[in-house]
Structure 1
Amino acid sequence: MYKKIGCVLVLSLLMIIGVGCGQKPLSDGGTQIVGNEASNTNNQEVPTTEKGTSSENNKPATNLSSDSKEVPVNVPVEDAHKEDTTLSQDKDTKQSTKIQVYYTDTDATLLQKSEYEIHFANDTEKYQSAFKALQDDSNPDLISLWSKITLKTLSFNSGKVTLDIHMPDEARLGAGGEQFALDALKNTLFQFEEVKSIELLVDGAAVESLMGHADLEHPMVR
């Protein structure tokens, strides 16, 4: 009886020892498997949210467009009104009159007068406009004797009109043409009652003759 109980105890003890020894490899193997799974898990690529972040960064900044509004530049109404008023005043101050301007016929044998309308704001502009009329050669039936001559300056003081001209070689005429040119100038300017004398200069100099044929008075008087 006691031998059977002793055998059972020995067998039980051996079984317990065998079970304990058999669990150690499983425990180690289990640990290794877990470690491999962990390492495999660590080696896997983990998707990131960088693309999402970059797309958000690439989105247009809609808030900036609302802040950077174009502000229209408004022209002050008073300034615009002043400009319009000034232009209208200039038009109102301009005067116009019809004068007689002298040319030659197509054969250059005699002086002929033609009516011309000029516009001016003062006496100086009036005489400048009269001289420009002398230079007008738009009429095919008349010849301008001053069309090729350049008026540099013109002034009016105490009844005397002073003209400073530049005369290129192609503007020079013969003896008859030179006298016609001087007569055309005097007849055109002396029709203004306030003009008492005419001083004609060539490039600032008081020359003896305008084109080398007729004497030039300084000044020419009525």
Structure 2
Amino acid sequence: MNKKWWCTGLLVLVVAIGTACGDKPQVLPADEQTGVVQVPDENVPTTNASGGVNNNEPPKDSTVEQSQKENIKVYYTDPQAMELLESQQEITFNDDIQKYQASFKALQTSGSDELIPLWGKIELLTIDFSDGALTIDIHMPDEARLGSGGEMYAIESLQNTFFQFEEVKSIELLVDGAQIESLMGHVELEHPMMKK
């Protein structure tokens, strides 16, 4: 009888340790955290096939787009995934597409232990904007899937973040180029999601 109790106790201990060591969000050390999201400058010289450098600088007489900075509202969840939390992030961009790319990147990192990004493991493939319609194409690996509450918060955080821009009237969310019924299998997606 003692052996049975001993085995049961050991099994309970193994299960408790196994559930405690689940996949937790990775957070940068405090000295590496930042609230600034930058999109790389596309005017960086590149090397051509002959070993020379292609300088992508525009001619001196043309107008050069200046980098712009903007503080935006970005939405995350708390560590227990009980509510959606708003945070201010500064983004840097040259044009509207880069603004939307920087906004998506801001959704992927928070810089705080108290703000958990819901889009951190999701890869952005493309962003396109035309006539008020923002199209976001993503790739979602299996480890990016959340429960029903997490999925609801992820969609809501995406809508809140992008609908703050006055010019964005609708969002079409695609996964690997295709419209899907549900992002993670719990919440039905609208095609497109309209600003309310």
Q: TM-score, normalised by structure 1?
A: 0.59
- How far residue 85 of structure 1 moved from its aligned partner, in angstroms, is 8.6
What residue number does 2:103 align with? 130
- How far residue 106 of structure 1 moved from its aligned partner, in angstroms, is 1.0
Between the aligned residues of both structures, percent identity stands at 56
What residue number does 2:146 align with? 173
Would the alpha carbon gap of residues 163 and 84 (structure 1) be closer, same or farther in structure 2, given more than 3 Å must change? closer
1:10-21 equivalences under 5 Å are none
Q: Distance in 1 between matches of 2:150 and 2:63?
A: 39
What residue number does 2:80 align with? 107
Would the alpha carbon gap of residues 86 and 176 (structure 1) be closer, same or farther in structure 2, given more than 3 Å must change? farther
Would the alpha carbon gap of residues 84 and 221 (structure 1) be closer, same or farther in structure 2, given more than 3 Å must change? closer
User: Which of 139, 153, 169 matches 1:196?
Assistant: 169
Number of positions where the alignment pairs a residue of Structure 1 with one of Structure 2: 140
**Bigger Rg, structure 1 or 2:** 1
Would the alpha carbon gap of residues 176 and 157 (structure 1) be closer, same or farther in structure 2, given more than 3 Å must change? same
**Root-mean-square deviation (CA), in Å?**
2.2
* Structure 1 gap ranges (5+): 1-81
What residue number does 2:135 align with? 162
User: Which of 159, 162, 170 matches 1:186?
Assistant: 159
Structure 2 residue 91 is the aligned partner of structure 1 residue 118: yes
Would the alpha carbon gap of residues 188 and 176 (structure 1) be closer, same or farther in structure 2, given more than 3 Å must change? same
- How far residue 200 of structure 1 moved from its aligned partner, in angstroms, is 0.2
- How far residue 137 of structure 1 moved from its aligned partner, in angstroms, is 3.7
Q: Distance in 1 between matches of 2:109 and 2:103?
A: 10
**Greater relative CO, 1 or 2 (CA 8 Å, sep 6+):** 2
Would the alpha carbon gap of residues 86 and 184 (structure 1) be closer, same or farther in structure 2, given more than 3 Å must change? farther
SS in structure 2 at match of 1:116: strand
SS in structure 1 at match of 2:187: coil
Would the alpha carbon gap of residues 97 and 216 (structure 1) be closer, same or farther in structure 2, given more than 3 Å must change? same
Would the alpha carbon gap of residues 142 and 161 (structure 1) be closer, same or farther in structure 2, given more than 3 Å must change? same
SS in structure 2 at match of 1:142: coil
Would the alpha carbon gap of residues 161 and 83 (structure 1) be closer, same or farther in structure 2, given more than 3 Å must change? closer
* Structure 2 gap ranges (5+): 1-54
Would the alpha carbon gap of residues 142 and 93 (structure 1) be closer, same or farther in structure 2, given more than 3 Å must change? same
Comparing both structures, which one devotes a greater share of its residues to helix?
1
- Native 8 Å contact 2:136 2:174 kept in 1: yes
SS in structure 2 at match of 1:101: strand
Q: Distance in 2 between matches of 1:101 and 1:207?
A: 24
